C-alpha cells in the first residue's frame, strides 16, 4: 500500500506540471521555485487551497497540490512517516522538473504538518496558513481521550494493525468517526506525538524561514496561540507574521499575493545557497 501511494504521488505531480528544460530554467531572472501545497483536515486539493495553488502556478511556480492522509477521502490511511515520505517524493519530483528552491505550504492541519515536515527535512521556506489541529490542546485531549486510550490498549493486545472506528475532532463540526488501524490512529493522535503543534514548531530545522499566517477572523483558539507559536519558532531574519482580513477557510486565497511575494523574496535572497535542498 505504501509503495502504491508513493507511486500515485509521483504520477500525480508529474502529470500536473510541464517539463521545464534546463535552458529555460537558466533564462529566468530568479531561481525557479517549487511549492508543495497541503489542504486542511477533511479537505482536498480541489477546494480551499485550489485558488492558492493555481495562482502560484500561473505566476511561474512549479506546484504539487497534494491529497494528504487527513483528507475527507483518505481518512488517515497511512502513518505519519509515510505522509512525510509522500511530501518528500513530491519535492524530489519538483526538483527533477527544474525547481531550484523548494517550499512547503499548508492550510490548517496542513500548516501544522508543514511545521513537522520542516523539522525532519530542510527546505528553503515554510508557509503555515492558519495552522491548527494540534492534538496537544485541551479540547483535543478532552474529546479524544477515550479513543486514544482505546488505541493504546488495542496495540498492547497485539491488535494494532486491525481496523477499528475511532474519533477525530474539528472546530466546524465537532466529533466525527474515522476508520483506521489503532497503530496509525495513535501515530496521528497521541497528544505528545507528531501533531503536537508546539513541539512541531519548535523542532523546525534552524535556517528555515517561516511565513506564519493568522487571519484576523480565524478561530479564537488559533488566534490565542499566536504569541506562543511565534516565540517557539527558530529565529530567522526571513520569518514573517501575516494577518489577512479573512476567515479560517478563506485564508489560503486571501494570502496568495503575500505568499508569492514572500517566496520570491526568500528564493532570491538564498540564490547563492548551493546546499542540498532536502536533508535528513
CATH code assigned at 77:
3.40.50.1820
Predicted local confidence at residue 2, as pLDDT = 52
Q: What are the grid coordinates assigned to 197, written together?
A: 503543534
Residues 149, 163, single domain; the answer is yes
Q: Chunk the chain into consecutive blocks of 10 residues (it has 280) and report each block's average pLDDT, rounded to whole numbers.
A: 51 45 44 98 97 98 98 97 98 98 98 98 98 96 97 98 97 92 98 98 98 97 96 97 98 98 94 42
pLDDT for 3 equals: 52
126 lies in the same domain as 62: yes
**Number of domain units in the chain:** 2
In a domain, 278, yes or no: no
Residue 24 lies in a domain: no
Asked if residue 108 and residue 236 are part of one domain, the reply reads yes
Is residue 46 domain-shared with residue 113, that is, in the same domain?
yes
Residue 175: what pLDDT?
95
pLDDT of 270 reads 76
Q: What predicted TM-score, i.e. pTM, was given to this entire model?
A: 0.88
Q: Is 239 inside a domain boundary?
A: yes
CA 252, 280, 52 angle in degrees (round to 5)?
Answer: 10
Please check whether residues 106 and 211 belong to one and the same domain.
Answer: yes
Residue 275 lies inside a defined structural domain of this protein: no
168 shares a domain with 37: no
Provide the domain limits for residue 175. 137-191
pLDDT at 69: 98
Residue 217, in any domain of the structure: yes
Q: Is residue 19 part of a domain?
A: no
- Mean pLDDT (the chain) is 90
Please provide the distance, in angstroms rounded to a whole number, between the alpha carbons at the two ends of the chain: 24
Residue 5's pLDDT is: 52
In-domain check, residue 22? no
Residue 186: what are its φ and ψ, rounded to 5°? -65, -35
Do residues 125 and 167 share a domain? no
Q: What residues have CB less than 8 Å from 157, skipping those under 6 apart?
A: none
Is there a single domain that holds both residue 48 and residue 104?
A: yes
Q: SS3 sequence, 121-168?
A: CCCCEEEEECCCCCCCCHHHHHHCHHHHHHHHHHHHCCCCCCEEEEEE
**Same domain as 103, residue 157:** no
Q: Which residues pair with 63 in a beta bridge?
A: 35
Indicate whether 176 and 218 sit together in one domain.
no
Domain boundary among 167, 191, 215: 191
Is residue 64 within a helix (H) or strand (E), and if so which, with residue range? strand 62-66
pLDDT at 280: 37
- In this structure, are residues 33 and 268 in contact, taking their beta carbons and an 8 Å threshold? no
Amino acid at each position: 500500500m505504501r509503495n502504491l501511494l508513493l507511486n500515485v504521488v509521483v504520477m500525480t505531480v508529474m502529470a500536473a506540471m510541464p517539463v521545464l528544460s534546463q535552458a529555460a530554467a537558466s533564462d529566468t531572472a530568479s531561481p525557479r521555485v517549487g511549492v508543495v501545497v497541503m489542504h486542511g483536515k477533511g479537505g482536498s486539493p480541489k477546494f480551499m487551497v485550489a485558488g492558492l495553488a493555481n495562482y502560484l502556478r500561473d505566476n511561474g511556480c512549479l506546484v504539487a497540490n497534494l491529497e494528504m492522509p487527513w483528507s475527507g477521502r483518505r481518512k488517515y490511511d497511512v502513518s505519519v512517516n509515510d505522509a512525510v515520505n509522500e511530501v518528500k517524493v513530491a519535492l524530489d519530483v519538483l526538483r527533477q522538473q527544474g525547481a531550484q528552491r523548494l517550499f512547503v505550504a499548508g492550510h490548517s492541519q496542513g500548516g501544522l504538518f508543514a511545521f513537522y515536515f520542516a523539522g525532519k527535512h530542510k527546505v528553503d521556506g515554510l508557509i503555515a496558513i492558519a495552522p491548527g489541529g494540534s492534538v496537544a490542546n485541551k479540547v483535543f485531549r478532552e474529546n479524544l481521550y477515550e479513543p486514544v486510550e482505546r488505541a493504546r490498549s488495542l496495540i498492547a493486545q497485539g491488535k494494532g494493525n486491525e481496523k477499528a472506528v475511532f474519533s477525530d475532532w474539528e472546530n466546524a463540526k465537532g466529533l466525527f468517526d474515522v476508520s483506521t488501524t489503532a497503530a496509525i490512529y495513535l501515530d496521528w493522535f497521541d497528544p505528545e506525538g507528531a501533531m503536537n503543534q508546539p513541539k512541531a514548531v519548535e523542532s523546525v530545522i534552524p535556517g528555515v524561514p517561516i511565513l506564519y499566517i493568522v487571519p484576523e477572523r480565524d478561530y479564537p483558539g488559533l488566534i490565542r496561540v499566536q504569541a506562543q507559536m511565534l516565540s517557539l519558532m527558530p529565529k530567522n531574519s526571513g520569518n514573517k507574521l501575516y494577518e489577512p482580513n479573512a476567515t479560517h477557510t478563506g485564508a489560503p486565497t486571501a494570502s496568495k499575493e503575500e505568499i508569492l511575494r514572500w517566496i520570491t523574496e526568500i528564493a532570491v535572497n538564498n540564490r547563492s545557497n548551493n546546499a542540498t535542498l532536502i536533508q535528513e
